[in-house]
Amino acid sequence: MKKSNKIAAAAAAGALLLTGGLTAAANAVPAPVAAPAAVAGAVPAVDVQPAPETVVAQNRISVGASADAVKSALAKCRADKLPFVTVALVDRFGTVQALLRGDNAAEHTIEAAQQKAYTAAAFGTPTSELAKRINGNGPSIADLPGTLFLAGGVPLKVNGVSVAGIGVGGAPDGALDEACATAGAEAIAAAAAGTAK
């Protein structure tokens, strides 16, 4: 065997050993970590039992229904030749449950859709109706952070209580945004009606 072949073989064997050692180290199960000692004076967690006096039950739109709603709203906008909108569904606290941005939607449409959805959810009223209540020069509800009083947000209610909102932003007219948001809301209502049968 030539000297260069012996060196190559030795290098390959060394690399194999090194790789094997690194793989073994990476796959090794870490030793259990001891639980931290109790901190003197720390207050322990309290397990609160559910009762009407202490815990509030809340309704939420499921992830599947949320996804279907934003898809239905965007499909309506696309059918209306509005590919540049964003649709958002949020819970009543404004946390995004589902969001779908159209192919040509600008970045600002994301925030507009979220804010319209939250405004509708928080007030339990379509944003087109809320927009009519804004007048005058002084401070108003329109100054509340995270809200947007332009048409395009529709509340979602369970037994008359607002639990979420769906909003659309980006169409050249808020009425067009609202038509798409309404299509999304109706998709949830239709799915619920189909399940109830």
Q: For the chain, which residues make up each domain, given as ranges?
A: 63-196
Instruction: Find, among 155, 168, 181, 177, the residue nearest to 112 by Cα.
Output: 168
Asked if 156 contacts 70 with a C-beta cutoff of 8 angstroms, the reply is no
Q: Which residues contact 88 (CB under 8 A, 6 or more apart)?
A: 70, 96, 98, 99, 110, 113, 114, 116, 117, 166, 167, 168, 169
- The phi, psi pair for 132, rounded to 5°, reads -70, -20
CATH number at 63-196: 3.30.450.150
Buried residues in 152-178 as b, exposed as e (16+ CB within 10 A):
bbbbbeeeeebbbbbbbbbbeebebbb
Q: Print pLDDT tens along the chain (197 aa).
A: 555 555 544 444 444 444 444 444 444 555 555 555 556 678 888 888 888 888 888 899 999 999 999 999 999 999 999 999 999 999 999 999 999 999 999 999 999 999 999 999 999 999 999 999 887 777 888 889 999 999 999 999 999 999 999 999 999 999 999 999 999 999 999 988 887 66
| Token duo for residue 154 | 């529709």
With a CB cutoff of 8 Å and minimum separation 6, the contacts of 66 are 89, 97, 98, 164
pTM above 0.85?
Answer: no
88, two tokens: 């958002």
Q: Quick one: tokens of 86?
A: 């964003």
Residues near 23 by Cβ (< 8 Å), separated by ≥ 6?
Answer: none
Cβ atoms of residues 162 and 122 within 8 Å: yes
